[in-house]
Homo-oligomer: A and B are copies of this chain.
Amino acid sequence: MLYEINEKALKLEREGKKIIRLNLGDPDMSTPSEIVEAAYASMKAGNTKYSSSYGEQKLRQKIAEMHGVKTENVGITPGSKWAIFSTIFLTMKNGGNIIIPTPYWTAYDLIAKTIGAKTKLLKTEMETNWKVNLDDLEKLIDNETKMIILNNPNNPTSKIMDDKTLDGIVEIANKKGIIILSDEVYGAIAFNKTKSILDYGADSKHILSNGFSKTFTMTGWRIGYIVANKMLIDQVTKLNQITFNNVPVFIQDAATKGLELHKQIAENIKAKYKQRADLASKKLGEAGFKFTQPDAPFYLFPKREGLDGEKFTLNLLDNGVAVAPGTSFGDYQEHFRISLTAPDNEIETGLDKICEATQ
């Protein structure tokens, strides 16, 4: 229902209605001007031709340095979504199943089903701090299981996986020969330290997907990357060659500029979202919602017992606030997701309307 809510919100806006949009992970802030200027300079310099489907060497090198891997382990993609789609497509095209802990980002399931792969959902719950139960995971694995998708930090809960649980998942995956695809797109701006799948070695079969959207406020630029073993990067590149060919070079140059300013930009963004998360926690807590404290931007995933999340979401949209129902992320009817990606005053008004709506 995530996309339907968004299309409805866009429709209401086109009809002239003011909608406070807390339904998407699309920051209200602008892309830093240094990044815009770098793109323009690159365009003017004539970087408007076809280029390598691996991505530009300079950008790959910078990403490789940042993660402590080799350049050959890095592939540039049009957003982290393509990193996820392409690796699932290549891993699952001969069938099999994927285990996905829930709550989860809708796209994983949609991608798997579009490709014809089966998914097995592993439910985690707020009451146990969204922890993956390792015994349950092991029981869910069968001979057809080829992949586990982790989202760390998680969308929609903004929880970071504790080291011990992640160690346990990696151990199980290694033992059974299962690939972990770890989507860490919120990792660089997390409030607390996040252990990466790359901490277990870049030459393993595991895959990191990441992007520039969240860290550099570059959602609409569509640039992300994969870190994986060379063989997979080569395969993804072959798929790139017959699909989109390459991310525009001037966009890659803009992302390279972003990486040069990485620390400064990431710190600013982190501070901003921490402030918003604190405000939201306070208001929602006072209104009696239950939720876990976010470890990262942008989301809260509050619960109220007995809530019909879809009805609540639709009513709220009629009242001018767009959020996403919990059912968009799995079997979470009593939850909904708030994305703190609107201007501060809108977030405040939006939160007030949310708190009133459930009285």
Query: Which A residues are within 8 Å of any B CB, using their own CB?
Result: 3, 10, 24, 26, 30-31, 36, 39-40, 43-44, 46-52, 78-79, 81-82, 85, 93, 107, 110-111, 114, 116, 217-222, 239, 241-251
Given A50-B24, A116-B93, A239-B114, CB of A220 within 8 Å of CB of B244: no
Copy number in this complex?
A: 2
Q: Closest chain B residue to A49 by CB distance? A: B220
A82 neighbours in B (Cβ, 8 Å): 243-244
Are B242 and A222 in contact, CB atoms less than 8 angstroms apart? no
Are B85 and A243 in contact, CB atoms less than 8 angstroms apart? yes
Are A3 and B78 in contact, CB atoms less than 8 angstroms apart? no
Q: Closest chain B residue to A30 by CB distance? A: B46
A218 neighbours in B (Cβ, 8 Å): 48
Task: Kindly name the residue among A3, A51, A218, A244 whose own CB sees the greatest number of chain B CB atoms within 10 A.
Answer: A244
**Complex CA distance for A116 and B89, rounded to whole angstroms:** 12
Q: Closest chain B residue to A113 by CB distance? A: B242
Are B48 and A3 in contact, CB atoms less than 8 angstroms apart? no
A221 neighbours in B (Cβ, 8 Å): 48, 248
**Complex CA distance for A260 and B127, rounded to whole angstroms:** 58
Are B50 and A242 in contact, CB atoms less than 8 angstroms apart? no
**Complex CA distance for A239 and B115, rounded to whole angstroms:** 10
**Complex CA distance for A49 and B28, rounded to whole angstroms:** 9
Given A30-B46, A50-B26, CB of A110 within 8 Å of CB of B78: no
Are B43 and A36 in contact, CB atoms less than 8 angstroms apart? yes
A220 neighbours in B (Cβ, 8 Å): 47-51, 246, 248-250
A79 neighbours in B (Cβ, 8 Å): 244-245
